[in-house]
Amino acid sequence: MITPRISNILFFRRNLSLVLALFFLPLSILADSPRSQFPPRLLEFGVFPHRSVGHLDDTFGVIAKRFESALNRRVNFNAQLSFDFFSEDLSGGFYDVVFLQPFDYVSAHEKHAYDVLATQKELLKALLVVRPSSKVVNVSDLKGSRISLPPEKTAISFLVRDWLRAQDLIVGKDVFLDYASSHVSCLQKALLGFGLVCGTAKPVLGFFSEKVGFEFLTIAETRAIPHTLFAVHPRVPQGERQKLLDVILHLHEGTDGKKLMDATRLSPFRHAEDSEYDIVRTILRANN
C-alpha cells in the first residue's frame, strides 16, 4: 500500500515555480549547484502523528532542516495523516531517523534494531482529567465510568490500561474505554461531556487548555516512563548518528530553540540507552 507523503505535497505546492525553473536549467548548471554535492540517497525522517500535519510540518520541518545542514545530506521529512499510516511505515523500516513514542520504539527495536539516540529529560506519564463539574472527583468514583483515550496503541493508552490493572479495575466490567481518533479529540469529548474522564499527556493538555481557555481537573496520574525519543535505523552510519545527536541535544538553545520547544511542547533532550526502556517492555508483557 502506498501511503501519502504529506510533507512532499506541501513542498511541491509551495515550491512549484522553483521546481519548474530547475526542470528547464541546463544539466551543466545543475552539476555545479551546491545541492548536487549531497549524496544521492535521501535520509527519511518521520514523526509520529501526535499533532496536525500542518503543525508538524511547521515545527519538525525546522528540525529536518537542521539535520540536513549538519549531515550535508538531503533530508526528507514525512508527516503522516494517521497512526495507522505511520505504524505501517515504521513496521517496514522505512524511516532512517524517527521521533516516536516509547511503545512504538520497543517494537521497532525488536523488529528492525532501531536504536535510541536521545529522549526528553522529562518523564512521560498519563493524566486522568475531568471537567471541574464532573461527578468523578477521585479514583474511587471511576467504577462504572467511561474513559476516553487517544488511539489504542498510543503510549498514553498503554499507561492508562496499566494503571487501571494496578487499581484492580477491570476494563469492560468496572470501567469502559472509548478510543478517540487523536489526543485532542479525546479532550474534546471530555470537554463536551461525551466522556466523563480523559486520559492524556501534560503537553497535549497544556496545548488544548490554552487553545480553548478551559482548565481540567487532574484526578490521577500513572507511573512514569522514559519519554518520546529520537531513534535511528542501523543503516545510518555511526558518524551521522553522532551529528544527529549533536543537533538534538542542542535543539532548545538560543531564542529560536526556545520558540521551537514552546511550539512543540517538548522538553530538552539527553542521550539515552535502550535499557532505559525495559520498563516499557515490562508494561507490554503485563498487559498482553
pLDDT digits (tens, 9 = 90+) for 216-254: 999 999 999 999 999 999 999 999 999 999 999 999 999
Arithmetic mean of pLDDT over the chain: 85
Helical (H) or strand (E) element with 218 = strand 217-221
Which amino acid does the sequence have at 242?
A: Q
Separation of alpha carbons 80 and 48, rounded Å:
7
CB 142 within 8 A of CB 263: no
- Domain locations in the chain as residue ranges: 6-122+226-286, 126-221
Separation of alpha carbons 96 and 107, rounded Å:
16
One digit per residue, the tens of pLDDT, for the chain of length 288 reads 334 444 444 444 444 444 444 444 444 444 444 434 444 478 999 999 888 888 899 999 999 999 999 999 999 998 888 888 899 999 999 999 999 999 999 999 999 999 999 999 999 999 999 988 888 888 888 999 889 998 898 999 999 999 999 999 999 999 999 998 888 888 888 888 766 799 998 888 888 888 888 889 999 999 999 999 999 999 999 999 999 999 999 999 999 999 999 888 899 999 999 999 999 999 999 877
Class for the domain spanning 126-221: alpha beta
Residues 6+ away with beta carbon under 8 Å from 44: 76, 78, 94, 95, 96, 97
Tell me, what's the pLDDT at 67? 97
Bridge-based pairing of strands 176-179 and 146-149 is parallel
What is 6-122+226-286's CATH number?
Answer: 3.40.190.10
DSSP class of 170 = P
pTM: 0.80
- Domains 6-122+226-286 and 126-221 belong to one CATH topology: yes
The DSSP-derived string for 91-150 is HTT--SEEEE-HHHHHHHHHHH--EEEEEESS-B-EEEEE-TT-S--SGGG-TT-EEEES
